[in-house]
Chain A
């Protein structure tokens, strides 16, 4: 390992971090709305909609993200119809193709996470909300959704991390995020091990930071669990002091 390469190339790799974070953040943001929509359709009980979401989720979870990215980036260029349409300025750009592919992909995974959250809300609460005269939208907004999100947060934290790691695939369609920059420098320096180790350290730091933030949000969103933990700890301390 040639450590003298680190000070020179590490800042260059860091310059790719905004792109990595941007790709992850934008596709997670757009994917979240898609996921909520899909999860609502999936739990709607309307057969054709449920069927559509099932097929959508099945296809996007059953194929590699790389295929989805290539299909959108290279595949759409095959059709003259698309090339002449208003979509082409968007689909021509590697950046937007990566965003579209990752949004559709995370939408599928996240919708399953949110569905799990929605289905975990006790039916008695929905009945109680109905008895209070809440309409469907108000019930969803005030009773079901907040609890579903809280339930889904640990799973969603994993999805965020998976997406950050997935941004490295954008380097295969010429985008210069952390992995892309590492590959570019390697082609000039022939020092693959050093550069991939540096890039790995950057990803590890990002992932570690996100894990901590998600943990914090989880604690904030479940005050009653923190209270229960606190109460248990106090009880144990009291017991210990008695003995």
Chain B
């Protein structure tokens, strides 16, 4: 066990600081991807609940495809196809002909955001449907405009109903960040694989990676629990 401690030491001698820095990257990537996912999810839910059939089909197609295909494949597709797409958009819109390369973090955030967006869409759609119709009618009867109704009646309640589901999506996104290691971002998994490559001690580093993920999931679980308590502060329970 003695050499395990020295392997994970802080500073130049050990890999402890590298692993923790990887964990911070994992956290940053998860936060950005999750936020992007909730944004996409809100639009996705609006599309799926829309009165316009083409929008509904678009939303349905998005969630069906993303949830039916491995996350790894979506990440690969965006990682390899993303640069091409961005370059052709730049050429088409701005006449820019140079080479553009998005970094691993940006691509990772977009890819994971696309994946978690599909799950968020379903969660938010369910939450919107859980708001009683009568309340929306009452708000209209009180003369609220669309925006006021959205802001004062819909959003606070949708947030409350969606929180548990979004907590699950967050956990999923956090664990999915491990896949970004394959495309080169030095987060937890990549740090672990670099460290085990140079020390020939893979068990130590993948085990520490597992522990770091557990710390992140446990911590964020608590945060979501507290957020749920806060969101439900006005609700009476038997």
Contacts and interface: CB of A to CB of B under 8 A. Distances in A.
B209 interface: yes
Contacts of A75: 202-203, 206-207
Interface stretch (B93-101, B193-201, B228-236): B193-201
Given A63-B210, A70-B189, A165-B70, A77 B202 contact: yes
B86 interface: no
Given A59-B210, A64-B213, A196 B77 contact: yes
A77 B207 CA distance: 13
A15 interface: no
A179 B210 contact: no
A143 B77 CA distance: 48
B223 interface: no
B80 A62 contact: no
Contacts of B204: 78
A199 B203 contact: no
Contacts of B176: 64
A71 interface: yes
Contacts of A193: 77, 80-81, 84
B189 A197 contact: no
A203 B73 contact: yes
Interface in A35-80: 58-59, 62-68, 70-71, 74-79
**Helix, strand, loop or mixed for chain B's interface?**
helix
B179 interface: yes
A138 interface: no
B217 A74 contact: no
Nearest to B200: A78
Nearest to B214: A62
B207 A70 contact: no
B238 interface: no
Given A70-B189, A169-B72, A59 B214 contact: yes
B178 interface: yes
Contacts of B171: 62
Nearest to B209: A67
Interface string B203-230: 1101101100110011000000000000
Contacts of A230: none
A29 interface: no
B68 interface: yes
Nearest to B175: A64
A69 B65 CA distance: 26
Nearest to B174: A64
B102 interface: no
A33 interface: no
B178 to A, nearest CB: 4
B24 interface: no
Contacts of B182: 172
Nearest to B193: A70
A168 interface: yes
Interface residues of A, number: 39
Interface in B5-59: none
A64 to B, nearest CB: 4
A63 B72 contact: no
B77 A200 contact: yes
Contact of A62 (B70, B178, B202, B213): B213
Contacts of B203: 71, 74-76, 78-79
Of the listed residues B68, B176, B178, B202, the one surrounded by the most CB atoms of chain A closer than 10 A to its CB is B68
A208 to B, nearest CB: 7
A89 interface: no
A162 to B, nearest CB: 10
B72 A179 contact: yes
Contact of B202 (A66, A70, A168, A169): A70
A14 B65 CA distance: 19
B206 A192 contact: no
Interface of A: 58-59, 62-68, 70-71, 74-79, 161, 165-169, 171-172, 179, 182-183, 186, 192-193, 196-197, 199-200, 203-204, 207-208
Interface of B: 64-65, 68-73, 76-77, 80-81, 84, 171, 175-179, 181-182, 189, 192-193, 196, 200-204, 206-207, 209-210, 213-214, 217-218
